[in-house]
Amino acid sequence: MKVTVAKTAGFCRGVRDALDVTLEAIKGLQDGESICTFGPLIHNRQVLAMLEEKGIIAEDKIENCAGKKVVIRAHGIPPQERKRLRRVGASLLDATCKRVARVQAAIKRHARKGFHTVIVGDADHAEVIGLMGYTEGRGVVISRPEQVDELPDNWDHVLLVAQTTQNEEIFRAIQERFRSKYPNSMIKNTICGSTHERQSEVRQMCSQVEALVIVGGYHSGNTIRLAEVAKECATPTYHVETETELDAQEMKRYSSVGVSAGASTPNWMIRNVVRYLESIQPEQNDVRFTIKRILEPLVYSNVFVAFGAALLTAAGQALTGNPGSLSYCLMAAFYVFAMHTLNLYLDRDAMRLNDPGRAAFYQHWKGIFTSISIAAVAVSLWMAAAAGVLAFLALGLLVLFGLLYAVPLFLPTWWQRLSVLKIKDIPASKTLFVPVAWASTTVILPYLGNFWSNFQQTLYAFWIIALFVLIRTALLDFLAVQGDRLVGKETIVVLLGETRTWHFISAILGLLAVSLMLGPISGLSTAFAYAMLPGVAAYGWCLRMCLQKPLKEDPVFETIIESVLIGMGLCALLYNFIITLWLT
């Protein structure tokens, strides 16, 4: 089955901001403090369940919020409720969507001038209830064009606004009637741009697929609206919260299915639906389906990761001119494989959210992977010992550091106040430590015995390999950012946000390109540095894809990211072979 995922599917900016405010509040809690949200933070049961696991309960009674830190939900609340919360001693953290806040401000401004306010939306929706609180008692909610005729004829000053997730077509129809009835009225189309884009994309997708699956909560207004838009296009539409609600036999009738999702639907839920649909065996042989089935076990088993590390050793040799050895490549491969695999078991929560398919794969093969990883550590240490005592001790420290990465540490009280109880809790630790570990294993460890004889070239190669692995790790972090945020995993994307990380990685790519061009000129590397420049361009394309297509097909995209390193390594093997022949 061909599955097309909408570019706009998933969290909108307002939802991301609300979650960021809430998760940052958790980190800042002092002893004895408690936190809650006033009403559900967003309309998604699965995300709310995750927040409950972190101790954040959604309270619907003001008296239950007394003395607590209270997060104002993304939909906003009436100003009267804000005052009552402050009276009971609540400390407010405002997570109201900025677009909703602008609508509230517009209503408040016009209400003070005596305007009546007409809100196009659902009267019982949290956002609309909040907006009504700013009308000073002169607000009316309508949801159909014919209701305009029921409004009083004698209103002189009238403001028309919309719930930010309202159906665009319905608002236009209401707007036409409203303008005819109140020629001098103020009309503000306050439908969120994100909502407009989602609905437009769904209409476009309806002409390209045989059926559409909309993923999101049944109480989510914008998700319901997406399903309505699809049905208006006469396309078979399925509104589901999870993949378990889809019938495989029924979905087999379609050869192409589109998937979109509401603004409060996390990527991992969309990904689950996509994986389920893609797992339905097509009646005719589909090359894309076959490729994904082949790639999944290779990616999940860290075969590409180990292969990439092995070949990066050859790249380091090509850059420095140091003599190569198969044992050096295998040492790096075994070490990287073991550390990546074991830490996935030690840090399962983020994987369960970001990639449920991989989580299930690892759980199924847990015994085998654990045994192989322990054996890989032993083999890598044995090979390091063959390279010398210093290499053995250095790799031993790297192994110890890797094993302790996700393990809680016994730390002084002053350190615990910083909320850093594991190495992985240090901000951006994974994104920064992985490149250092890879570059140390592939470039420095094999040559520690005579490190100072080729010091400058080795240090340069360390710099180049570390930058490539840094970019590779950050690109993979883009795939996992939502789950990482919820479980508190401090990657660079979580720390800086997607946009700032994009700019940061762009700068690193530029720095890497300049470094590669200057290496041979300055005598710090061989001419092989020039052969690595296409790798910079390939990662630039991957970075662009991270923003243009946030929900990527993981096994395929991960394979592309890992293949850049593998490709450079294969070029390095060829380069080393040619140089050897030339010298002999």
Enumerate the active-site residues: 127
List 256's β-bridge partners, or say none: 2
Contact, 445 vs 394, CB < 8 A?
yes
Structure-block tokens of residue 153? 């004829």
Distances, alpha carbon 275 to alpha carbons 68, 381, 421, in Å: 41, 38, 35
Task: Report the C-alpha dihedral over residues 415, 421, 424, 425, rounded to 10 degrees.
Answer: -70
Nearest to 548 by CA among 498, 481, 505: 498
Output DSSP code: residue 444.
I
The H or E element containing residue 36 is strand 35-38
- On the CB side of 156, CA atoms within 13 Å amount to 2
Q: Angle 193-206/221-232 helices, nearest 10 degrees?
A: 30
Contact, 481 vs 499, CB < 8 A?
no
- What type of residue is 375? A
Q: Could you give the 3-state DSSP secondary structure of residue 106?
A: helix
Distances, alpha carbon 131 to alpha carbons 87, 122, 497, 530, 568, in Å: 21, 11, 29, 60, 57
Q: Could you give the 3-state DSSP secondary structure of residue 84?
A: helix
Per the listing, tokens 């209503």 go with 107
Q: Could you give the 3-state DSSP secondary structure of residue 347?
A: coil
Output DSSP code: residue 324.
P
Output the CA angle 267-279-250, nearest 5 degrees: 100
Contact, 201 vs 217, CB < 8 A?
no
The H or E element containing residue 294 is helix 287-300
Which ranges of 417-553 does DSSP label H, i.e. alpha helix?
Answer: 429-439, 455-479, 481-487, 492-496, 498-522, 528-531, 533-548
Cα separation, 402 vs 440, whole angstroms: 13
Q: Could you give the 3-state DSSP secondary structure of residue 247?
A: coil
Cα separation, 106 vs 131, whole angstroms: 10
Q: Could you give the 3-state DSSP secondary structure of residue 523?
A: coil
Q: What are phi and psi of 277, to 5 degrees?
A: -65, -40
Cα separation, 36 vs 29, whole angstroms: 12
Residues in Cβ contact with 91 at an 8 Å cutoff, skipping those fewer than 6 apart: 68, 69, 70
Cα separation, 254 vs 244, whole angstroms: 18
- What type of residue is 193? G
